Structure formats: structure tokens, C-alpha cells
Amino acid sequence: MTQPALTFMAPVGPAGAPLLVLGPSLGTSTILWEDVVPQLATRFRVTCWDLPGHGVSRPATAPFTVGELADAVAAGIRELGAPALYAGVSLGGATGLELLLRHPDVVTAAAIVCASPKFGDPAMWTERAAQVRTQGTGSLVVGSAQRWFAPGSIERRPVLTGRLLHALRDADDASYALCCEALSQYDVVPRLGEIATPVLAIYGEHDAVSPEEHARTIADGVRDGRMIRIDDASHLAPAERPDEVAATLNEFFGGAR
């Protein structure tokens, strides 16, 4: 296994403000957060990172674990000026939990958004990896649209949702497959009790990938956890309900500084 190379965007926000790092979901890019960032950058110095082979990050050249993604994020945070606040969606949220376990010194509070301490059956991820290697990420677009967005979300935000689905299609096939294989090995349920950093588990009302019970497992499992629902959202809440997500994060991180 190898620590992957990740690209962070230049931070935006007031110089000297607390650093806030935002992580992506599988198949997306920093586009996921673009309507939330301006609302956070009034109080925080905000940066986003891209998964290997997604957005502007280089493709992966070797297998990696979610823990090794967290190692790469920790290295980026240290370069930008640790400690930081952290929020991540789906795989980005899983990376956040691993970050809290492996590098608790670099994060002072974390929001785990539309994510799980374990994502379903490992065989599902190995099968999806095989599908992408043979058919490409474009073969996932229809199914992902159904999982990612709540009823009415695509109609409410057609341009942004279209860009997110294009980001999925444009992701590097091999890197996406390696992300799937990393998720097939990911399971932090037995270790949640080791996390002492304040955690907010955020879930979307219609999210079948990371439903309420997964958020509850996180909030109840860590030592200092709470949870909150974003109404009329599914798995990509920051894109579907940016104002609600931004307000939730501003309140949580404002109290955690």
C-alpha cells in the first residue's frame, strides 16, 4: 500500500482565521463544496482536496487504504498550518474518521457528512471496482444520480448536479477502482470509542447510502458526538442544500474553536 498524492486548493478566507479542510465524496471533486465555501470563508480559512484521479489530483499508481488517504490529508494539513477543523462527505467523511484515529493532533473538531463507519458489503465495492475497470466510470452515472440526489434535487439545481455527474464520468477509472477497493477494507466501527475529538455526524433525510442509523452509530460511538439531519437531501447534502449545510458547519465549528 502507498500514501496517495492529493491536491489541495489554495485556502480562501481571512488570514489568521482557523483552517477548515473540506473533503470530497467518491466520484466528485471540489465542485461538491463550491456553494458552501463562500459562506464558510467569512469566518474560516477554507481549503478543499480532491481524491486521487478526481478533479485536479493526479491518478493513483498503487493501491491504498482509507487510512493512507487520511495520512495524505494529515500531511496536507501540516503543510497548511495544523491544527485544522475538518468536514468530509462520504469517502471524505470516512477519511475524516481515520484522520481522527491516526492523527488526532491535527484536527480539533470534525463533521462527518453523509458518511458511514462502514459502507456495506465489501463484495459490492470489489464488484464496482471491476465494473469501472471494464466499463469506465460513465457506466455509474445513472445509478449514482439515483443514490446521490433527493427527490427534486436535480430539478432544483440542474446545472450543478449535471457538473457533478460529469465529474464522475471524467474521474480516472483506475483511481476510482482503487478508491472502491479501499472502501472494501474500511471498517472503523470497533474503534469509534477511541475518538475523543468533537464530532458532528450529518445525514441527509433521503440518504440510503449513509442513512440515519449510520450517523447515530458514529455520534453514539465516539466520546463527544452529536448528529443532525439535513432535510430534503440525500448523499450529496453540500450540493443539494448548501445554505443549510453551511449554517450547520458554521454553528458547530464556531463553537468548537
With respect to residue 213, please indicate whether it lies within any of the assigned structural domains: yes
The verdict on residue 100 lying in a domain is: yes
The dihedral formed by the CA atoms of 143, 247, 117 and 165, expressed in degrees to the nearest 10: 20
Q: pLDDT tens digit string along 148-196?
A: 999 999 999 999 999 999 999 999 999 999 999 999 999 999 999 999 9
Instruction: Note whether residue 190 is domain-resident.
Output: yes
Residue 233 in any domain: the answer is yes
pTM for the full predicted model: 0.96
Which is nearest to 88 in space by CA: 76, 101, 98? Answer: 98
Range(s) of the domain holding residue 126: 7-256
Question: What is the domain count for the chain?
Answer: 1
Q: CATH number, domain at 113?
A: 3.40.50.1820
In a domain, 225, yes or no: yes
30-41 pLDDT per residue, tens: 999 999 999 999
Is the residue at 1 inside a domain?
no
Within a domain: residue 167?
A: yes
Q: What is the pLDDT of residue 1?
A: 63
CA 193 to chain centre: 21
- Residue 2 inside a domain? The answer is no
HEC states along 34-99? Answer: CCCHHHHCCCCEEEEEECCCCCCCCCCCCCCCHHHHHHHHHHHHHHHCCCEEEEEECHHHHHHHHH
The residues of the chain scoring below 70 in pLDDT are: 1, 256-257
